[in-house]
C-alpha cells in the first residue's frame, strides 16, 4: 500500500493495536485466563484489520488512483484513464475523469491542428512577418522574410531586432510602434541581388487583455509591381502627351500661318495643308491604336474565332504590304503554307500588318523583309524577318512596352506610334499564344508569333 491515504490507515491500525493491547493488560488483572484474553484480543484486532483493508480497497485506493490519474492529466498525458466500477460513486467519478481526459485530448488535438494551420499560413504568406516581444527580442520570422533578407531563422529568433534587422526604415518603424503604441506605416527600397524591390512596412503593437503592450508585429508587403505599374502609368501619360504635342504644335503653327492671310502662294498653302493633314492623320492613328489597346485590355473583350486560311489571308493583305515596301525600295517576300487555323481574323490581320510595317520602318532601302506562315509541332507560326537596324540586347526586354522605341527619330519619321508591338503582344496573349524575338544590333530582327493550331 502506497500513498498518503495508506499511511493514514496504517497509523490508525497501529494506534488501535496499541489501545487494544493496553486495554487488554488492564483487563488481564481481572481475568484469570490469559490465553482466552489473548485470543479475544487477536480476534478483535484481526476483525479491525479486515475492516480497514475493506475500507482501503473500496474507498481509499480508488481515490488514490483517481488522484494519480488527475496528476497525469495535469502533466499533459491526456491518454491517462481511471477505471473503477465497484460502486456507483466511484463509477461516476471514473466517468467524469475519463470524460475530462477525452475532452482535453480533443481540445489538444484541435489546438495542435490550429497551430499547424497557423504555422503553415504564416510560412506561406506572400508578405514578410516578424514578431517581437516587449523587450525587442525577435520571437518569430516567416519564410518569406528569410528569403528576402538572406539569413536563417536562427540568425533572427532570440536576437535583439537592432542587431539583426539592418534596414534603417525597419528599425525606425519598430521604435515608433514602441514609442507611440499605435500603428505605423512606411515604405522602403531593398536590393535583392541586382534588382530593386520596394516594400510597404506596417507595424502594430500586440496588446494583451489588460491593455498592456506585449510586443510588436511587423508585416512587409512587396509593392515592387505596384511601383512598376505606377512608373508605367507616368511614362504612358508623358509619352501620350509628347506624341500629341508634336503634331498639334505643327497643326497649330501652320494653321496660324494660313489664318494670317498668306494665301497667295498656292504652293505654300498646298504644302501647309498637306502637313496639317499628315499630322492630323498621325493623331488619328495614335488614338485608334490607344483605343485598340484599351479594348484588348478590357475584361469584356472577347475574340471572334473563325477558321482562317493562311494563303487567302496573306493574299488579301498583299496590295497594302507591297505598296509600302516598293515606296521604300525594300524587297518583300512571302512563304505561306496552305494551312487553316482557328483565330480572330481581324486581330490576326492586325498582327501581320503591325509586324510587317514595323519591319519596313526599321529596314533601310534595298533591304529585305520576309513573311512566313507555317505549321510546326501543333503550332501555327507567323514569322517576320528583316535585315534592318536590329535591336541591342539591352533593349530586347522592353520592345513590347507601350511607346518604347529603339530609334525614336526613325519611328516618328515613318509615322509609327510606338504602340504596334504592344498591340501585337496583347493579341497574341488573348489567343493563348507566345511571341518570340531574336535580334542583334545591325544584324536584323526576327519576330515569331506562335498560336495554337
Same domain, 310 and 432: yes
Same domain, 153 and 194: yes
pLDDT value for 433: 93
Question: What letter would DSSP give residue 298?
Answer: S
pLDDT band at 32 (very low <50, low <70, confident <90, very high): low
pLDDT digits (tens, 9 = 90+) for 216-228: 999 998 888 888 8
pLDDT value for 310: 94
Least confident segment among 14-28, 109-123, 131-145, 330-344: 14-28
Least confident segment among 33-42, 147-156, 202-211, 430-439: 33-42
Mean pLDDT of 438-445: 88
Bridge-based pairing of strands 305-309 and 340-344 is antiparallel
Contact 20, 43 (CB under 8 A): no
Q: Specify burial of residue 397 (Cβ count, 10 A radius: 0-12, 13-18, 19+).
A: exposed
Q: What share of the chain is helix, strand, coil (3-state, %, to 5)?
A: 55, 20, 25
Q: For residues 187 and 52, what is the distance between their CA atoms, to the nearest angstrom?
A: 79
Nearest to 6 by CA among 66, 67, 69, 52: 52
pTM of the model: 0.54
Q: What region does 157 belong to: left with phi over 0, alpha with psi -120 to 50, or beta?
A: beta
Q: Is residue 120 part of a domain?
A: no
Q: Is residue 261 part of a domain?
A: yes
Same domain, 437 and 334: yes
The better pLDDT of the pair 139, 56 is held by 139
Same domain, 272 and 340: no
Same domain, 340 and 203: no
pLDDT band at 342 (very low <50, low <70, confident <90, very high): very high
pLDDT digits (tens, 9 = 90+) for 295-319: 877 777 788 898 999 999 999 999 8
Cβ neighbors of 410 (< 8 A, separation 6 or more) are 361, 362, 389
Last residue of a domain, one of 83, 110, 137: 110
Same domain, 68 and 152: no
Q: Is the pLDDT of residue 182 over 90?
A: no
425-453 burial, b at 16+ Cβ within 10 Å, e below that, comes to: bbbbeebebebeeebeeeebbbbbbbbee
CATH code: domain of residue 212: 3.30.450.20
Same domain, 313 and 442: yes
Same domain, 27 and 132: no
pLDDT value for 252: 87
Range of the domain at 136: 125-222
Same domain, 31 and 60: yes
Same domain, 334 and 430: yes
User: What is the phi/psi pair of residue 51, to 5°?
Assistant: -60, -45
pLDDT digits (tens, 9 = 90+) for 85-141: 666 666 777 777 778 778 877 777 777 777 677 677 777 777 888 999 989 899 888
Q: Is residue 115 part of a domain?
A: no
Same domain, 47 and 131: no
Same domain, 249 and 189: no
Q: Is residue 327 part of a domain?
A: yes
Nearest to 428 by CA among 391, 376, 381, 375: 381
Q: Which residue has the cell 512587409?
A: 220
Last residue of a domain, one of 297, 327, 352: 297
pLDDT digits (tens, 9 = 90+) for 191-213: 766 678 889 999 999 888 888 88
Q: Is residue 102 part of a domain?
A: yes
Cell numbers standing for residue 395: 533593349
Q: For residues 118 and 380, what is the distance between their CA atoms, to the nearest angstrom?
A: 48
Q: Is residue 119 part of a domain?
A: no
In the chain, % of residues over pLDDT 90: 19
Last residue of a domain, one of 276, 297, 318: 297
pLDDT value for 366: 92
The SS3 call for residue 4 is helix
pLDDT band at 262 (very low <50, low <70, confident <90, very high): low
Mean pLDDT of 178-187: 87
Secondary structure (DSSP) of 56-77: IIIIIHHHHHHHHHHHHHHTT-
Count of alpha carbons within 13 angstroms of residue 180, beta-carbon side: 12
CATH code: domain of residue 413: 3.30.565.10
Interhelix angle for 345-361 vs 420-430, to 10°? 150
Q: Where are the alpha helices (DSSP H) in 29-167?
A: 34-55, 61-74, 88-123, 143-149, 153-156, 161-164
Question: What letter would DSSP give residue 216?
Answer: E
Cell numbers standing for residue 242: 509628347
Structural domain total, the chain: 4
Q: For residues 352 and 361, what is the distance between their CA atoms, to the nearest angstrom?
A: 14
Q: Is residue 116 part of a domain?
A: no
Nearest to 449 by CA among 430, 403, 416, 415: 430
pLDDT value for 90: 67
Q: Is residue 378 part of a domain?
A: yes
Amino acid at each position: 500500500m502506497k500513498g498518503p491515504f495508506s499511511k493514514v490507515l496504517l497509523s490508525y491500525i497501529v494506534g488501535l493495536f496499541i489501545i487494544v493491547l493496553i486495554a487488554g493488560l488492564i483487563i488481564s488483572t481481572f481475568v484469570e485466563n490469559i490465553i482466552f484474553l489473548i485470543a479475544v484480543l487477536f480476534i478483535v484486532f484481526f476483525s479491525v484489520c479486515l475492516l480497514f483493508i475493506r475500507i482501503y480497497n473500496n474507498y481509499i485506493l480508488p481515490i488514490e488512483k483517481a488522484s494519480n490519474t488527475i496528476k497525469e492529466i495535469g502533466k499533459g498525458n491526456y491518454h491517462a484513464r481511471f477505471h473503477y466500477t465497484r460502486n456507483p460513486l466511484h463509477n461516476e467519478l471514473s466517468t467524469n475523469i475519463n470524460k475530462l481526459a477525452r475532452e482535453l485530448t480533443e481540445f489538444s488535438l484541435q489546438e495542435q491542428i490550429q497551430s499547424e494551420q497557423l504555422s503553415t499560413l504564416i510560412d506561406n504568406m506572400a508578405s514578410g512577418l516578424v514578431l517581437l516581444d516587449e523587450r525587442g527580442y525577435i520571437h518569430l520570422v516567416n519564410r518569406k522574410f528569410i528569403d528576402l533578407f538572406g539569413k536563417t531563422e536562427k540568425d533572427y529568433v532570440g536576437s535583439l531586432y537592432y542587431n539583426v534587422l539592418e534596414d534603417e526604415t525597419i528599425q525606425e518603424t519598430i521604435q515608433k510602434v514602441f514609442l507611440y503604441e499605435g500603428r505605423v506605416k512606411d515604405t522602403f527600397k531593398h536590393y535583392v541581388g541586382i534588382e530593386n524591390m520596394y516594400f510597404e512596412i506596417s507595424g502594430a503593437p500586440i496588446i494583451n487583455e489588460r491593455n498592456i503592450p506585449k510586443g510588436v508585429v511587423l508585416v512587409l508587403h512587396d509593392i515592387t509591381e505596384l511601383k512598376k505599374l505606377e512608373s508605367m502609368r507616368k511614362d504612358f501619360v508623358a509619352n501620350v502627351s509628347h506624341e500629341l504635342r508634336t503634331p498639334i504644335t505643327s497643326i497649330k503653327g501652320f494653321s496660324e500661318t494660313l489664318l494670317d492671310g498668306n494665301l497667295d502662294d498656292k504652293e505654300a498653302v498646298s504644302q501647309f495643308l498637306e502637313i496639317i493633314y499628315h499630322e492630323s492623320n498621325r493623331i488619328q492613328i495614335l488614338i485608334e491604336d490607344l483605343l485598340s489597346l484599351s479594348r484588348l485590355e478590357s475584361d469584356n473583350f472577347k475574340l471572334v474565332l473563325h477558321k482562317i486560311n493562311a494563303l487567302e489571308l496573306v493574299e488579301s493583305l498583299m496590295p497594302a504590304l507591297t505598296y509600302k515596301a516598293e515606296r521604300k525600295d525594300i524587297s518583300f517576300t512571302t512563304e505561306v503554307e496552305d494551312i487553316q487555323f482557328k483565330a480572330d481574323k481581324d486581330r490576326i490581320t492586325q498582327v501581320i500588318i503591325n509586324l510587317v510595317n514595323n519591319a519596313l520602318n526599321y529596314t533601310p532601302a534595298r533591304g529585305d523583309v520576309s513573311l512566313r506562315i507555317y505549321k510546326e509541332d501543333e503550332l501555327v507560326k507567323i514569322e517576320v524577318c528583316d535585315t534592318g537596324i536590329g535591336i541591342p540586347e539591352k533593349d530586347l526586354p522592353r520592345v513590347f512596352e507601350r511607346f518604347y522605341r529603339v530609334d525614336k527619330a526613325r519611328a516618328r519619321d515613318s509615322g509609327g506610334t510606338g504602340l504596334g508591338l504592344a498591340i501585337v503582344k496583347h493579341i497574341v496573349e488573348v489567343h493563348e499564344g507566345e511571341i518570340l524575338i531574336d535580334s542583334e544590333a545591325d544584324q536584323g530582327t526576327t519576330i515569331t508569333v506562335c498560336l495554337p493550331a
